[in-house]
Structure 1
């Protein structure tokens, strides 16, 4: 189990040079944009325009802050995403454009290499203790607003935009909110040949 503090995240330019992304976690460690198996990051989107294309990558986008964004993914109807919308899954190698609804946003991006890994993203608003299953190769819990305490051998306190990354486990995590808090639960799995 690793605690990832927001102050320690790494910032880098977008693949298309149009902005800056903040990397929360990547596997393998220190993998570049063309070599990761999976990657979790945040980005500040200041204006509309085309999204970077990532060959062979599946992506899920969620709005963390701001009024929202409308994504136009080739072959799909436009998707309006807000801070209360369900996370939106799409192929990152399809041409994708975006328009902001009303001003800049911050988004959460989860990407996995198609055919090798798969992921799911869940947004939970919690006001009471919650059990989070961790039956995956990796589980990342990101705290958005407020604070939570995660039960472990040594309890871990996560503040705004801090994260907890666990390796494969069968036991769940118990999350105790200090106040009403939103958490994002990212589960990443390998794809087996018989899947």
Structure 2
């Protein structure tokens, strides 16, 4: 397991220059926006507008804070995305724009290179002691709110734990937290 502290996340401008993103993790290490295999980041969105286009990339978007937004993804009906919504997967090379519902939001953005990697994103709420299932491959556990501990490794809001497994396993978890579990697998 590898712990990435919130204070160490990398801040950088959006690809389209319209805002700032906080890169939580990227593979391979040090990869840029044009050559990553997978990338997990957060962004603060303060105005309506277009999304950056990433050719050959699949993405999943989740709302972390704020009222949410309506996404206009080419070829699909408008999608209203809020904190209560399931994470929304879509092609990052489809022209996409967003209209904020009521003010600034923060989103979680997971991207993988199509044809090389796949990913899934799910919310997990923890209150006390339980177990969480980890798929084979790489799983990133982002603590959105609260504090948690997985097998002796504590982490707090904004921290991310990377777990690599050759096969699916269950691990003990404790605390009171809202987590996002991101499973990434090579094809």
Q: TM-score, normalised by structure 1?
A: 0.92
CA offsets 1:109-134 (integer angstroms, 9 cap, x no match): 00000000000000122223232222
Partner SS for 1:7: helix
Extract unaligned runs of 5+ from structure 2. Answer: none
Aligned to 1:188: 184
Q: Which residue of 150, 158, 179 corresponds with 1:161? A: 158
Aligned to 2:35: 35
CA offsets 1:52-106 (integer angstroms, 9 cap, x no match): 0000000000000111111110011111111111000000000000010000000
More strand as a share of residues: 2
Mapping of residues 7-86 of structure 1, within 5 Å? 7-86=7-86
Between Structure 1 and Structure 2, how many residues are aligned?
186
Root-mean-square deviation (CA), in Å? 1.0
- The answer to whether the 8 Å contact 1:134/1:169 transfers is no
Moved >4 Å (runs of 4+): none
Extract unaligned runs of 5+ from structure 1. Answer: none
CA offsets 1:12-34 (integer angstroms, 9 cap, x no match): 00000000000000000010001
CA drift at 1:137: 1.4
Aligned to 2:143: 143
